[in-house]
């Protein structure tokens, strides 16, 4: 507040609407209300929602709908916010590349489609329509895979 407006407020100038004290109080109340509102909004957005992991995805094409693979879904979450999912064990593991928009969440690691519908969880049997190809070198969340299964459709899981 300028020194002239402070003088007017303390001397009771009739042209001045409000005192310095009431302006300070209103400003502080406004900041408090804004802070509390932001905090409540942040809590409501995060409450009850699990974090999600970025997983390997691809645009669906006719090439990703040629064969069927079935097995127990395996996977792990990574500290960088990604997760890797695969079928098979040890050296016969095949990375899974999901249709665009799919994501995973923890406890247990579960995959959801682009509409938020659960399509499978680690430890469950899953049947996938798609096709196998050599794994890309930059596969999101996965390292050390020679083969990848490009999913066109999830037929089901147990």
Backbone angles phi, psi at 131, to 5 degrees: -160, 150
Tell whether domain 57-157 is in CATH 2.40.50. yes
CB contact set of 5 (below 8 Å; sequence gap of 6+): 16, 20
Q: What is the pLDDT of residues 18-53, one digit of tens each?
A: 444 333 334 443 433 333 333 332 332 333 446 788
User: What are 49-94's pLDDT values in tens digits?
Assistant: 467 888 878 877 666 568 999 999 999 999 999 999 999 998 899 9
What's the pLDDT score for residue 62?
63
Query: Taking the domains of the chain in order of start, what are their residue ranges?
Result: 3-46, 57-157
CA separation for the pair 94, 74 (Å, rounded): 10
149 neighbors 135 (Cβ within 8 angstroms): no
């Amino acid at each position: 507040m300028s020194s002239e407006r402070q003088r007017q407020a303390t001397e009771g100038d009739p042209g001045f609407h409000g005192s310095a004290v009431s302006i300070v109080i209103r400003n502080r109340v406004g900041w408090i209300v804004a802070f509390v509102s932001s905090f409540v909004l942040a809590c409501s957005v995060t409450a009850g929602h699990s974090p999600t992991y970025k997983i390997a995805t691809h645009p669906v094409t006719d090439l990703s709908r040629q064969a069927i693979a079935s097995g127990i879904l395996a996977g792990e979450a990574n500290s960088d916010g990604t997760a890797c999912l695969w079928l098979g064990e040890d050296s016969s593991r095949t990375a899974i590349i999901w249709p665009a928009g799919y994501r995973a969440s923890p406890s247990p690691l579960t995959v959801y489609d682009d509409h938020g519908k659960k399509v499978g969880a680690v430890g469950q049997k899953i049947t996938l329509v798609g096709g196998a190809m050599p794994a890309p070198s930059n596969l999101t969340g996965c390292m050390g895979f020679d083969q990848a299964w490009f999913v066109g459709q999830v037929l089901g899981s147990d």
